[in-house]
Structure formats: structure tokens, C-alpha cells
Amino acid sequence: MEFTTLGRTGLTVSRLCLGTMNFGPKTSEEDSHTIMDRALEHGINFFDTADVYGWQLGQGVTESIIGRWFAQGGGRRDKVVLATKVYGKMGDWPNDNGLSARHIIKGCEESLRRLQTDWIDVYQMHHVDRKTPWEEIWQAMEILVTSGKVRYVGSSNFAGWHLALAQEAARARHFLGLVSEQCIYNLLTRFVELEVIPAAQHYGIGIIPWSPLHGGLLSGALRRIKEGTAGRAGETGGRSMNDMAEHRATIEAYEKLCESIETDPADVAIAWLLSRPGVTAPIIGPRTLSQLDRSLGALDVTLDDGVLGQLDQLFPPVGKGGPGPEAWAW
């Protein structure tokens, strides 16, 4: 396993992050525990979850599964850099969501209880809360850090200017502020290259891409459909099939390119992300043990300039490419 530091911190994390969103809804608790054990065997020490995962209002299903895994002992908790999130709706009352100080602190305490741990390594804001001032958000986060319940703070789904607002507000309080931004980023979705990644690099914020395979479209979806082995990407309906209809010719050309370099499409997609500036660790979200094992192949893939150029032709960056304003102006 390869390791790096998270943003400008000294925290060491694996170059792949284990996403746990499938734990509970699609993967049984027993299988989820087996996947997490195997992840540690592979050297993956960076785990990502959220209070809303499991999609049962207020239940924190996925966090609870992880907590029962930690409770088995064997040094599991000490080995893991644990990231979870706050913002989403956890009840039917007005203060059961968002980033008010009340909800942040209550959400942290409930996550700690479900996860059966004393601390969260990276506590991430799952979305922007436009009605809560940064002074209130940072005061709540400072309380959690000072009390030892949180080590670092991250964001998810923020725009570049949100990162700037957050960091300048934190700087005024002499607080470390954000150390990571978790955003959708893959060959088909490159909007973050315009402003999010430049802002993150300026402030020393590590990028953690989610949906690196764009719902399975970049993992050899057409090949699996032809073989009759399609899973999520081959199911009818949903974002994957809608995007397949729009990008079918591009996906066909992509899979031919991957075949020409004798590399699995999923490995190419993740290796491309690993080569991008500012990226710390793409999130892999296996539903099965075999999917986890296959995900590690990307670490052995090096894409040369010729292949990278072909990928840019197939999946053009937004505008003229690179950061703004050059991407859209002279």
C-alpha cells in the first residue's frame, strides 16, 4: 500500500480510502466486517462513513456496523484513520440537521456512541449550510477538538469559494480549519478542476474523490453487459443508465483504450485520479470482498503521457482545461 499525508497535516493515510456506504443496505454486517478486516490486511487505514449511511432515519446503521467491528478489539480502532460526517437529517425535528452548533455537537456525540470510539479522526461537514455563520460552525468544531472528540475537520461537496470562506474564518480564530474536501471527481465529472482543487491546493486541503467510477460506468460496464455479468452499471434505471445513454460512444472508446493497454477500466479510472494534482485518496466502495481485492490493482498502474492525453480527448476537461479563469477566459 502507498501512503501520503492528508492535506497539509502530518496525518498519514493510505492512497485508497475505504468507503462504507454499502455497509447495511447492500452488504451484510458479517460481510462488512470481513471487508474491513481485509482492508487492514491490504494496508488500507483510511475509512470513510457518515451518520446518515444506512438510510434509516436517525439510526446510523453503517456507523453502528463499524462500531461493532471496532468492539472486536485486536487494535482495529488504533489502526484506522476514521472519517465520518455531519449535516444530514437525523430526525423529524427542525434542529436534527444542518451545521448549527447544537447539531454539530450532538451529531458528534451520537456518532461516537454508535462507532464505539472516543474520537473521530476527520469530522466532515457533509454539505454547505447556507444559513449558519462560520463563526458558529468553527466555535462548535473548536469545542470538539479541544475536548479530544475530534482530531481534524473536513468538508464535503463544497465549492471553491466555500473553502476560502471557511479557511479565512478559521484563520481569524487561529484555528487549523479544513484539512480535506470530499467531492465527486472522475473522468466524466471534472468540474472541481476549475476552482475547488485550486482552492484546496492553495489552502493545503487534501482532495478525497467520491464516485471515482461514476456509478460503475468507468469499470467496464459495457463489457459486463455483453457478458451478462453487469451489476449496478447494467441495471435498468438510475443515474448510471441515464449517463450510459448519453456517453455510450465515449465509454465504448474508453473500454477499447483500456483493452489496448491491457488494463482493467476500473484500474485506469482510479489510477488517473491518483495521478491528479491535489488528490489524496479516491474512495472505493466495495459491496463484496472480491471488489475490494480488485480495487488494489490501480496502485500498480502508471499511465504514461500518451494515455493521459487520450483520456483527455475522450473526457475533455471543462472549458479549456485547468483552473479558472484561464479555463473560460483569455
- Domain membership flag for residue 231: no
| DSSP SS3 for 180 | strand
Q: What CATH code is carried by the domain that includes residue 85?
A: 3.20.20.100
Given a contact cutoff of 8 angstroms between Cβ atoms, the answer to whether 60 and 114 are in contact is yes
Catalytic residue flag (residue 53): yes
Q: What percent of the chain has pLDDT over 70?
A: 96
For 119, half-sphere exposure in the C-beta direction (CA atoms, 13 angstrom radius) is 16
pLDDT of 46-89, one tens digit each? Answer: 999 999 999 999 999 999 999 999 999 999 999 999 999 999 99
Is residue 248 a part of any domain in this protein?
Answer: no
pLDDT at 37: 98
Is 9 part of any domain? yes
User: Hey, is 277 helix, strand or coil?
Assistant: coil
Q: Residues 86-141: pLDDT tens digits? A: 999 999 999 999 999 999 999 999 999 999 999 999 999 999 999 999 999 999 99
Res. 206: pLDDT tops 50: yes
Question: Tell me: the pLDDT tens digits for 21-30?
Answer: 999 999 999 9
Contact 180, 124 (CB under 8 A): yes
Helix spans in 192-237 (H): 196-203, 221-227
Predicted pLDDT at 231: 62
Q: How confident is the model at residue 197 (pLDDT cuts 50, 70, 90)?
A: very high
Question: Would you list the DSSP string of 282-317?
Answer: PEE--SSHHHHHHHGGGGG----HHHHHHHHHHSPP
Would residue 55 count as lying in a domain? Answer: yes
User: What does the pLDDT read at residue 239?
Assistant: 61
- CA–CA distance, 105 with 296 (Å, rounded to integer): 36
Please give the pLDDT value at position 223.
85
Q: Give the active site residue among 53, 87, 152, 254.
A: 53
Give the range among 45-54, 155-164, 232-241, 286-295 with minimum mean pLDDT: 232-241
- Residue 237 pLDDT > 90: no
Tell whether 14 is covered by a domain: yes
Burial class (CB in 10 A: 0-12, 13-18, 19+), 296: middle
In a domain? residue 227:
no
Given a cut of 50, whether residue 234 has pLDDT beyond it is no
Q: Average pLDDT of the chain?
A: 95
Say what the pLDDT of residue 238 is.
Answer: 53
Candidates 7, 287, 284; CA nearest to 121 is 7
Residue 230 lies in a domain: no
Which strand ranges, in their side-by-side order, compose the sheet holding 178-184?
206-210, 178-184, 150-156, 120-125, 81-86, 46-48, 17-19, 283-284
Q: How many domains does the chain have?
A: 1
Stretch 175-203: mean pLDDT: 97
| HSE, side-chain direction, 13 A CA sphere, residue 268 | 25
pTM (predicted TM-score): 0.93
Looking at residue 325, its pLDDT comes to 95
Task: Return the pLDDT at 228.
Answer: 76
Confidence class for position 232, pLDDT limits 50, 70, 90: low
| pLDDT at site 235 | 45
Return the closest-CA partner of residue 253 out of 184, 318, 188: 188
**β-strand pairing of 120-125 with 206-210:** unpaired
Note the pLDDT tens digit of each residue in 248-293: 999 999 999 999 999 999 999 999 999 999 999 999 999 999 999 9
* Position 326 in a domain: no
165: containing domain: 3-219+264-305
